[in-house]
Chains A and B, each alone.
Chain A
Amino acid sequence: MQELALRVGGAAGDGIATVGETFCRLFTRQGFYAFGHTGYQSVIRGGHVWFQARGSPERIWSQGDGCDVLYALDRQTVEVHAPTLRPGGVLVFDPEKFSVAPEQVPAGVKLFPVPTLQMSRKFASEPILQNGVGMGVVSALAGQPLSVLHGILTDSLGRKGTVLSQNLSASEAGFHYATEHIGALDRALPEKGGTPKLLMSGNQAIALGAVAAGMKFLSQYPMTPASSIMHWLAAHAEKFHVVVKQAEDELAAINMAIGASHAGVRAMTATSGGGFSLMVEAFGMAGMTETPLVVVESQRSGPSTGLPTKTEQGDLQMILGASQGEFPRVVLGPGSVAEAYRETARAFQLAEDWQTPVVVASDLYLSEDVQGLDREDLPALPPPASLFTVPEPMEGGNGYLRYKDTPSGVSPRAIPGQRGLMFDAGSDEHDEAGRLVSDVLSGIPAYVEVRRKMMEKRMRKLSGIRAATPPPTLEGPGDAELTLVGWGSTALPVRDALPLLKGQGIAVNYLHVAQPWPLHGEAIARVLRSAKRTLLIEQNFSGQLGRVITAETGIRFPDTLLKYDGEPFYPWEIVTKVMEVTGRVHR
């Protein structure tokens, strides 16, 4: 597969994210698919930050393996990333800052010293302008015309007149310098791909999907890697008529969302594992009061504060077990940026149809990395239908039972403001009318029966949800030597590994469990029983999805590929493991 990977690295504060995003747009604006992966630390200045922008005329799903251009702003970047340069690649650095010895790069990689600082001083004294030169250099190496870079810079810096003109001049100088000295790489993509692609992160897709699904209220407390959901929505709050409320803590955030939903609007909260830990009690209250609620849980490496800027899928068991007692819940694990959009929208529909909480389980990798997409990947959604199942007005609606026991377990829902339908939503156990059975009635035989009935009414929703939702999909060839099993963002590197494996003559498919709960146990068992061999792949220590599948189907996973070092899977890791499991190579 034709592809080109541009990598930049330096310290926090060096503008790495901006440069990296610009590299991504060099691809997407020219009509190529792209994937942008960022690696950063929990510091504002210093430390080590890097970004890989990968482009291809074909769909790509991950950061891939290796890079072709490395623009190193500091010595550490050379130490960490030079070994990943592929033959034919180029290391760009400024000899004024540090020197690089030829033996520091793999065979077939060129060293390209560029006096970026010196060149940038012609236009401005701020050292950050070296990136203007650097971006020009990399554009030339990537074989993309200067006009594309200038277009990107104009759009991103348009409001900053002087800064823009300085960057245009600096990048032009860098572009010509690289053209004169090296020119485009052999691996460079053609000048033009298909139609321009859009570039979106998982969190942006979640936010957009939520608005498209009719969300009117977000309450959130800042926490990496969920914060950018709030940032994007706050910036668009007026345009899309959404209340975005930064709460004082996660307890408030989820309780506010429940309040807003109770009052009759689609509401969401978003957090990471630590924040979700604080939300757990109210999560159960949404189940008990049968209030529709969408919670985005973007996981990061735990336990405790863990690795705040690194990825993991370690919270599945917590999400499945969160809150005391039992109540129906839905857990979705989208496996791409486009899925993040669609699954978030589906989460709202499920929450409302079944009047129960739904978790969209993302992770740092999916939430923060960016993917190049076609417009068709994000289909427009019909405006949400009426939220309420009780017609208004209902004068003298004394017979109204908010928690009426029905065959589906779902009861007619009224909202405050509707005449004649007044009821109490209680976190205590209650009867069909919402009257407490917790205080003076609990233990009285008739109300022992009410309790049993209300539990069954709520829990009944689970089988309805399972029946109403699609079972997991099997991606790749039907007849495979090995079936990979995973959920959520793991789908990204797996989708890049499958063609590589095919190239090795190994037919492998992937069971993508995008809805870990309620699990479609029977459908999964059918796939796994007919599989020649399975390999469970998860970004956690104990194979948490595997445990759920085993519990529900009795099927075990003798072979696993589990990763818990904070870094996402790289396609080569999956290829290597599959070759080992299928007896191609021996450790």
Chain B
Amino acid sequence: MSIAESPVRPQGPPLKVVYKSQTKATWCPGCGDYGVMAALEMAFKALKIPPHELVLVSGIGCSSNLPHFFKTYGFHGLHGRAVPVATGIKLANPSLTVVVAGGDGDGYGIGLGHSLHAMRRNLDMTYVVMDNEIYGLTTGQASPTSTLGAKTKSTPLVGVIEAPVNPLALALGAGATFVARAFSGDPKQMADLLAQGIRHKGFALVDVFSPCVTYNHLNTFDFFRSRVYKLESVGHDPSDPVEAFRRTLEWGERIPTGLFYRAERPTYEELEPALKDGPLTTQRAGLPPDVDPLKEFY
């Protein structure tokens, strides 16, 4: 599928819409997150989402500064808590397009619990995790996805002695209905996956290898460029959860990117009785005039 396929809103604004703000990104030169920013912009453009209907939600970390670089609505919250803020926004107004952006420490470390629960709820939102296998903003400690043996500021002697989290396998186990992996070195593929994820009705996880050029000298652009291959090139069937799980375990000389898994399941918003009459933001508030709320207390 190509991002040029039918937009989310056919009646949307002309393609001239500006998504980027005038705030200059503050990442290190060469940071993988620039690729994610570019891919997100490409996806928004392709889908023609009006900027005022887009909400970018983030936590804390280098990558979590991303909302400031876009001229959309944004919420730059606390470390690890982007997903619950996004959940509240989406439940209050499901007509908004909600994209959560953050890093591996944010989403797989301090905020892992929220990530898994959001997946099982299948809220219609997209979560892009800029996974650099390191804590960057705090100057180079081990992250939940750091490689075994990696020497960091917090593991200087024998390196990391904890097995890394496998975010895609976790996502499958947690019930995510769209599970994908991209690489900052291939913004086009990433833009396509992000666009698919945003279009997907349900929770979409897009884990992105987004190298940290300052603190991670192990998982570099070259490291990934020499290893990644595209799942579609091997005829992977994204509707097969068992095969998807098998692919998430591949790590080493060859590492797959692309769409691992996609499934159709009702979203949380669709099943929530209070949203039957539309977004909460457009419903009347207060006690309904035709109900005596005190009757049941006699």
Contact = CB atoms under 8 A, between A and B. Distances in A.
B196 interface: no
Interface stretch (B2-10, B73-81, B240-248): B73-81
Contact of B91 (A29, A215, A256): A256
Nearest to A259: B88
B81 A416 contact: no
B284 interface: yes
A212 B86 contact: no
B81 A282 contact: yes
Contacts of B52: 416-422
Nearest to A384: B285
Nearest to A256: B88
Given A243-B275, A263-B96, A282-B78, A256 B87 contact: yes
B287 A380 contact: yes
A265 B65 contact: no
Contacts of A440: 26
B86 to A, nearest CB: 6
Q: Which of A248, A261, A383, A424 has the most CB of B within 10 A?
A: A424
Contacts of B80: 251
Contact of B77 (A242, A244, A285, A420): A285
B172 to A, nearest CB: 19
Nearest to B269: A243
Interface in B30-53: 50-53
Contact of B76 (A213, A375, A424): A424
Contact of B272 (A243, A253, A384, A423): A243
A266 B274 contact: no
B283 interface: yes
Interface residues of A, number: 74
Interface in A253-282: 253, 255-267, 281-282
Contacts of B298: 28-29, 196-199
A436 interface: yes
Contacts of A245: 87, 91
Contacts of A247: 84, 117
Interface string B46-64: 0000111101010010000
A421 B50 CA distance: 12
B236 interface: no
Interface in B244-293: 272-275, 277, 280-281, 283-288, 291, 293
Contact of B95 (A243, A415, A417): A417
Nearest to A378: B294
B280 A243 contact: yes
Contacts of A428: 76
B81 A255 contact: yes
A423 B68 contact: no
B89 interface: yes
B78 A259 contact: no
B74 A251 contact: no
B78 A267 contact: no
Nearest to A424: B74
B91 A243 contact: yes
Contact of A416 (B77, B89, B275, B283): B89
A425 B76 contact: yes
Contact of A423 (B74, B90, B294): B74
Contacts of B283: 216, 241
A73 interface: no
B286 A262 contact: no
B281 A198 contact: no
A480 to B, nearest CB: 35
Interface string B176-214: 000000000000000000000000000000000000000
Interface stretch (A82-90, A232-240, A564-572): A232-240
Q: Which of B57, B75, B96 has the most CB of A within 10 A?
A: B75
Contacts of B76: 424-428, 436
B145 to A, nearest CB: 21
Q: Which of A213, A265, A435 has the most CB of B within 10 A?
A: A265
Interface of B: 23, 26, 50-53, 55, 57, 60, 65, 67-68, 71-78, 80-81, 83-93, 95-96, 113-114, 117, 272-275, 277, 280-281, 283-288, 291, 293-294, 297-298
22 contacts: A29-B298, A198-B297, A240-B288, A243-B275, A245-B91, A251-B80, A255-B84, A255-B88, A260-B88, A261-B92, A263-B55, A267-B88, A282-B77, A282-B81, A285-B78, A383-B286, A417-B281, A419-B52, A420-B52, A421-B52, A424-B75, A439-B26
Given A214-B285, A245-B87, 16 more contacts: A216-B92, A240-B287, A245-B91, A252-B117, A253-B84, A255-B78, A256-B84, A260-B88, A263-B89, A264-B92, A281-B78, A378-B294, A383-B284, A422-B72, A422-B73, A424-B73
The 4 closest A-B pairs by CB, nearest first: A259-B88, A214-B285, A255-B84, A424-B74
Interface of A: 28-29, 196-200, 204, 208, 211-217, 219, 237-245, 247-249, 251-253, 255-267, 281-282, 285, 289, 375, 378, 380-384, 415-428, 435-436, 439-440
